[in-house]
């Protein structure tokens, strides 16, 4: 399985993910890494000390929002999945030892359909 890890600046230039997190004093953003595979996009989000019940993952119109509540503070990560090759409706998430793993599969490549002429 081919996997490539990109520095985030190079990754943004690839027009796949854009960080749109609000950068307010009262909200901290979450650290994350992205890894492209041939058939999926993997996001790894650091959430040390956060229980799975205190995590929230939502998506709407290409925006992926991750919230992590830790005591009195809430950390937020909002990403725009720009590349339409990824199927956000098929996103899966799991948390393990302070890390949230998100897997977004690629859509199957479209192939032209030949139409028979009668």
Domain boundaries, the chain: 3-105
Spatial distance between the Cα atoms of 71 and 30, rounded to a whole number of angstroms? 15
Can you give the pLDDT at residue 19?
60
Are the C-beta atoms of residues 77 and 100 closer than 8 Å to each other? no
Q: Which residue has the higher pLDDT, 18 or 100?
A: 100
Q: Which residue has the higher pLDDT, 8 or 118?
A: 118
Query: Which run of H or of E encompasses 50?
Result: none
pTM of the model: 0.70
pLDDT digits (tens, 9 = 90+) for 36-70: 898 999 999 999 989 999 999 999 888 888 999 88
Are the C-beta atoms of residues 28 and 66 closer than 8 Å to each other? no
Q: What is the DSSP letter of 33?
A: E
Contacts of residue 62, defined as CB under 8 A and 6 or more positions apart, other chains included, come to 80, 81, 82, 84, 88
Fold type of domain 3-105: Immunoglobulin-like (2.60.40)
User: Three-state SS for 42?
Assistant: strand
Query: Which run of H or of E encompasses 96?
Result: strand 92-96
């Amino acid at each position: 399985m081919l996997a490539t890890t990109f520095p985030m600046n190079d990754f943004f230039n690839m027009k796949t993910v854009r960080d749109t997190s609000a950068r307010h004093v009262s909200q901290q953003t979450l650290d994350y890494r992205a890894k492209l595979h041939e058939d999926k996009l993997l996001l790894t989000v650091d959430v040390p000390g956060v229980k799975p019940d205190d995590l929230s993952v939502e998506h709407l119109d290409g925006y992926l929002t991750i919230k992590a509540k830790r005591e009195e503070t809430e950390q937020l990560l909002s990403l725009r999945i720009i590349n339409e090759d990824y199927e956000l409706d098929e996103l899966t998430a799991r948390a393990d030892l302070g890390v949230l793993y998100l897997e977004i599969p690629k859509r199957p490549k479209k192939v032209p359909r030949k139409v028979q002429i009668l």
